[in-house]
């Protein structure tokens, strides 16, 4: 279950879509979502609220790494035999995509 804390919501509000255009892997990550026991991972750098949902942008891995958009609701709906996506609450402040990739065993370097 993903619970968005006040801190995460503040980061989302402070980093709207397109605010980090052109920064590539040097963009600061504001949230990390992952699917346990898989390589699915979302390194979120920007987010804008749309109604009750959030449209987010970041560097994501399902089958391969790519920049793209994802809705928070899409991540929250994931369920594989009772296992759901989680948010990493241990993300150090100021970590970039490149910093995160160094900590992910299956990531390209």
Sequence ranges of the domains in the chain: 6-18+27-91
pLDDT tens sequence across 34-87: 999 999 999 999 999 999 999 999 999 999 999 999 999 999 999 999 999 999
Model pTM score? 0.93
Q: What is the dihedral of CA 38, 70, 27, 89, to 10 degrees?
A: -50
In the prediction, which pLDDT does 43 show? 98
The full length of the chain comes to 109
Distance CA 103, CA 11 (A): 21
Distance CA 10, CA 63 (A): 30
In the prediction, which pLDDT does 108 show? 66
Distance CA 105, CA 30 (A): 20
What would the two tokens of residue 49 be?
A: 């609220």
In the prediction, which pLDDT does 33 show? 97
What would the two tokens of residue 32 be?
A: 């990390």
Distance CA 62, CA 27 (A): 20
């Amino acid at each position: 279950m993903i619970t968005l804390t006040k801190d995460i919501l503040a980061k989302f509000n402070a980093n709207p879509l397109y605010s980090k255009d052109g920064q590539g892997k040097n963009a600061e990550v504001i949230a990390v979502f992952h699917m346990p026991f898989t390589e699915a991972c979302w390194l979120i750098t920007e987010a804008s609220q749309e109604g009750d949902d959030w449209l987010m942008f970041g560097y994501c891995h399902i089958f391969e790494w790519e920049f793209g958009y994802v809705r928070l609701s899409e991540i929250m709906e994931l369920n594989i035999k009772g296992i759901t996506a989680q948010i990493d609450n241990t993300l150090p402040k100021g970590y970039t995509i490149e910093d995160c990739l160094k900590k992910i065993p299956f990531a390209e370097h």
